[in-house]
A and B are shown apart, each in its own frame.
Chain A
Amino acid sequence: ETGVTQSPTHLIKTRGQQVTLRCSSQSGHNTVSWYQQALGQGPQFIFQYYREEENGRGNFPPRFSGLQFPNYSSELNVNALELDDSALYLCASSLSNGNEQFFGPGTRLTVL
Chain B
Amino acid sequence: QQQVKQSPQSLIVQKGGISIINCAYENTAFDYFPWYQQFPGKGPALLIAIRPDVSEKKEGRFTISFNKSAKQFSLHIMDSQPGDSATYFCAASGARNTDKLIFGTGTRLQVFP
| Binary contact track A29-56/B, C-beta < 8 Å → 1, others 0 | 0010101000011111100101000011
Whether A100 contacts B49 by the Cβ 8 Å rule is yes
Q: Which of A97, A98, A99, A104 contacts B43 (CB 8 A)?
A: A104
Which of B59-67, B78-86, B97-105 is the interface stretch? Answer: B97-105
**In the complex where A99-B93, A103-B44, A106-B42 touch, is A41 in contact with B100 (Cβ < 8 A)?**
no
| Binary contact track B40-60/A, C-beta < 8 Å → 1, others 0 | 011111100100000000000
CB distance from B112 to the nearest CB of A (A): 22
Whether A43 contacts B103 by the Cβ 8 Å rule is yes
Whether A48 contacts B98 by the Cβ 8 Å rule is yes
Whether B98 contacts A100 by the Cβ 8 Å rule is no
Q: Which of B32, B41, B46, B105 contacts A42 (CB 8 A)?
A: B105
